[in-house]
Structure 1
Amino acid sequence: MPDTPRRRRLRASALLAALVLPGLGAGCGGPSGPVTLTVLATSSLTEVFGEMGTAYQQEHPGVRLRFAFGASPEMVDRLSDHTPGDVLVTADQASMAEAAGHLAGRPRTVAHDTLTIAVRPGNPRRIRSLRDLQRPGLRVVVGAGTVPVGRYTRRVLEKAGLTLRWSSEEISARAVLDRVRSGEADAGIVYITDLRSAGIAASSVPIPADLNVTAAFPAAPVQDSAHPDAAAAFVSWLLTPAAQKLFHKYGFINPPSPR
C-alpha cells in the first residue's frame, strides 16, 4: 500500500500513545491508579484517624486510606477474611497478640491513653469517685473482660480494691459511652479520648493517677496485605512528629521516642 500522509499521521499517533500513556499511569500510582490501604482500627481512633487520613494523603498522593472501625476483637477477627486489610491498630497489646499469626512485622505502640468515669451531663447522680460506683441503685456499665477497655477497667478496680456489680458489659469503650449518653446508664468507665469525643453529651469524673492505668495502642502491617511496603510505611508514619501532633490534639498521650 502507498505510504500516504494519512497513514503516516496514524503511525505517529500510535507511537505517541505508546510513549505517553504509560507515563500518565505511573504519575497516578500505576496503571490501576493510587494504592488503597484498608486500616482496621479500634473505634476509639475514629476522630483522630479521620484527620490523619487527610494529612497522610496530602503527604502521599499515591496512597488512599480506607478505615474500618470497630471493637478490637472484631478487627482481629476480620484478619481471617479472604481480603483482611493492610494495617491493624488495636487498643491493647493483648488484642494485638491474638493477631500475631496474621502480622507482617513487630507491633509498634503509636499512642497511649488513660481512663475516666463518664457520667450523664451535669453529673445528676453526684458521682465523685470510683468508690461511689458501688452505691446501690446506680446503673454502671463497663467493657467486657474480653475487650481492651474491660481489661483496663478491671486493673483499675483491682488497684482501687473495689468490686462492682455492673448492669451490663459492652464490646467497646464507645459502646459504654453510648449507654451513658443515651441515659441507659448513670456511669461507665471509658478512655479519656472517648469522653472528649462526646462533647457536652457526657461529663467526666477523673480517676486519680495512682489508680489509673496507661492504655497502649499498637499498630502493625497485616501479613496478607496486597501492599506490604505501603502498609509498613503508614505504620512508621504514625510515629512521625506530624502524626504524633494529631494524636496529642485529640487527647492521646504520645509514646516515648524509640531509642
Structure 2
Amino acid sequence: MPDSPRRRRLVARAALLLLGLGAVTGGCGESSAQTTLTVLAASSTREVLRELGVAYQREHRDVQVRFSFGGSQEMAGRLSQHDAGDVLVSADESTLNEVNERLTGRHRVIAHNAMTIVVRPGNPRRIHGLRDLTRPGLRVALGASTVPAGRYARKIFAGAGVTVRSSSEEISVRAVLDRVRTGEADAGLVYITDLKSAGVAASSVPIPALENVTATYAAAAVKESRNEKEAASFVSWLASPVARELFNKYGFVTPAQ
C-alpha cells in the first residue's frame, strides 16, 4: 500500500491506541502489587503455619506471606537486624516479653501445646516415663535452657522431682527430634505436635497430664516493620475460625474465645 496521508493517519492512530493500552496495563500492574509479610516463627509451627499462610493469601490476594523458621530465641534475636521481619511467632510468651520494645500492640495467644517423650521407633530402650530418662548411659537430647522447649522440659523435670542429664542441648525443638530420628539420641522431649511431622520415624511415650506443662504460643507484630498495618491484621487473623480449625487439625489446642 503506497504511502499516503490516509495511511499515515491510520498508523498514528494505531500507535496511540498501543500507548494507551500500555498505560492501562501498567496501571493494573501497580494496583495488583503485593505486600510481602515476613513471619519469623518457632520451628514447631512449620507445617501448620505454611498451611495457614496459604489460607490467608486466599483471603487476602494483595498479601504474600513468607516464613522463616527456627528456635524462638533465634527468631527473636533477628529483630536486632534492620527489616528482619514483620511478625514474630514464639512457642512461649517469655520470648516475646524479652523483645517487647521491638513489638507493637498486645501479644496474641494463638495456640497451646504440651510435651511428650520422643523415642526411636519401637522404643528399643524400653523407656516408660520421665524417671527412665535418668538411667546411666541413656542419651537424652533436650532444648537448650534459652529456648521454650528447653525451659518447658526443665519445668517438667522439676515438677516430677527428677534430674536428667542431657547428651546434647539444641537450639530448637526440631533439632531435638532430629537427634532421636537419626539415632544420635535415645530419647528427647518435644511437643506433641512434633510427632505428627516425624511420621513412622519416631515413637512417643506420653507424659501424664499432672506432670506435663501447657506450652503457650503467641504472636505479635514488629514495631519497625514496613508493613505494620498488614502485620497487625495477620496477627489478628491467627485467632480467626479458619486459623483455629487449622491449628486443631495439626494437634494444637486453641484458646477459648
> TM-score, normalization: structure 1?
0.91
Q: CA 1:8 to 1:238, structure 2 compared with 1: closer, same or farther past 3 Å? A: same
Using the TM superposition, give the Cα deviation of residue 25 of structure 1 relative to its aligned residue in structure 2, in angstroms. 2.4
Q: 2:27 aligns with which of 22, 25, 32?
A: 22
Q: Which amino acid aligns with 2:219?
A: A
Paired position in structure 1 for 2:42: 42
Identity %: 57
Using the TM superposition, give the Cα deviation of residue 21 of structure 1 relative to its aligned residue in structure 2, in angstroms. 3.6
Using the TM superposition, give the Cα deviation of residue 113 of structure 1 relative to its aligned residue in structure 2, in angstroms. 0.4
Q: CA 1:135 to 1:34, structure 2 compared with 1: closer, same or farther past 3 Å? A: same
Using the TM superposition, give the Cα deviation of residue 22 of structure 1 relative to its aligned residue in structure 2, in angstroms. 2.2
Cα offsets for 1:71-92 (capped at 9, x unmatched): 1111011111122111110111
2: distance between equivalents of 1:111 and 1:204?
21
Q: CA 1:177 to 1:12, structure 2 compared with 1: closer, same or farther past 3 Å? A: closer
2: distance between equivalents of 1:15 and 1:184?
66
> TM-score, normalization: structure 2?
0.92
Paired position in structure 1 for 2:102: 102
Paired position in structure 1 for 2:220: 220
Paired position in structure 1 for 2:127: 127
Q: Note the residue ranges of structure 2 that are not aligned, 5 or more in a row.
A: none
CA RMSD between the two structures = 1.8
1: distance between equivalents of 2:155 and 2:126?
24
2: distance between equivalents of 1:42 and 1:62?
25
User: How many residues are treated as equivalent by the alignment?
Assistant: 251
Answer with 1 or 2: which has the greater Rg. 2
2: distance between equivalents of 1:8 and 1:124?
82
Taking the TM superposition and a 5 Å limit, the aligned residue runs for 1:233-248 are: 233-248=233-248
Using the TM superposition, give the Cα deviation of residue 99 of structure 1 relative to its aligned residue in structure 2, in angstroms. 1.5
The yes-or-no answer on 1:146 pairing with 2:140 is no
Using the TM superposition, give the Cα deviation of residue 59 of structure 1 relative to its aligned residue in structure 2, in angstroms. 1.1
Cα offsets for 1:100-132 (capped at 9, x unmatched): 111122110111100000011000111111111
Taking the TM superposition and a 5 Å limit, the aligned residue runs for 1:26-105 are: 26=31, 28=32, 33-105=33-105
1: distance between equivalents of 2:16 and 2:245?
55
Q: Note the residue ranges of structure 1 that are not aligned, 5 or more in a row.
A: none
Q: CA 1:19 to 1:132, structure 2 compared with 1: closer, same or farther past 3 Å? A: closer
Farther-moved stretch of structure 1 (6-15 vs 137-146): 6-15
